[in-house]
Amino acid sequence: MSRKKRRRYRSSRSLAPIHSYRHPKVSVIIPVKNEVRTIARVIREAGKVHKRTEVIVVANGSTDGSKEVAKRMGARVISYRKPLGHDVGRSVGARKARGNILLFTDGDIVIPAYKLRRLVRAVRRGTDVALNKYMGRIANRKVHSVVLAKYALNTLLSRPSLRGASLTTIPHAMSRRALEQIGTSRLAVPPKAQAAAIAAGLKIRAVTYIDVGRTNPRKRGPRGGPNPVKELILGDHLEAIYEYIRRTGKRGRHTDLKRQRSLL
């Protein structure tokens, strides 16, 4: 560990550990890869969302001491040597969760507990899937292709009121019932999980606006080449369309109006 990372590790140790409950009401799932600079503060805020909260850290491919900090903070740590990707990490954490409400966030973005509680509160009051209203920049002349994909998918799913709100964006929360309907494996492809939730008739709402764009580190591809994260997310939306059509029919519950295909 470098001198700079050791300083960050020592400073994070000064935070008192959170209390871990055997029978939690809320499970907060945090995938982590080399986020020692922020993980202690993320766990601290996560631990305050409810009186009975467990924090699950899925450390995948971390080599900077993130895992050790998470353990010291009192989180349940699931560790993998190789990187899984954040979405797969969320799926793994959800499978181990014991709470009736699951809250998902990332280890590199510190979000105050009072903002996270809005999502938990929405699920407690009957929402199955509570989304962040943040959807990226839409006032630009050229809107990002991922933002357009989110809008297009929600329109296809007959939920245009969701606009660009998506399970691709953290933080978000869901009920135990929603998790069982969606399936933990589908959480590895967030748009696909969203399509499954809507196809199952679950109550899904954009609950609160939390601006994660300013603090989220941008992943860039090779100079002049494609952005791998953008390509991944666009592919995820194609999987989501297939999932919805597979569940609802060739036209995804959209009418054929007066077209008489049988005559052809």
Q: What is the DSSP string of 174-192?
A: EEHHHHHHH-GGGGGSHHH
| pTM, rounded to two decimals | 0.88
**Contact assessment for residue 129 and residue 197, using Cβ atoms and an 8 Å cutoff:** yes
Q: Which CATH number fits domain 1-110: 3.90.550.10, 3.30.70.1710, 3.40.190.10, 1.10.600.10?
A: 3.90.550.10
pLDDT in tens, 150-209: 999 999 999 999 999 999 999 999 999 999 999 999 999 999 999 999 999 999 999 999
Domain range summary for the chain, segments of one domain joined by +: 1-110, 112-253
User: What does the block give as tokens for 159?
Assistant: 């939920």
CB 168 within 8 A of CB 216: no
What pLDDT sits at residue 95? 97
Gap between the Cα atoms of 153 and 240, Å rounded: 8
Q: What is the pLDDT of residue 56?
A: 97
DSSP letters for 137-158: --SSSS--HHHHHHHHHHHHTT
Amino acid (one-letter) located at 238: L
Regions of the chain with pLDDT less than 50: 9-14, 221
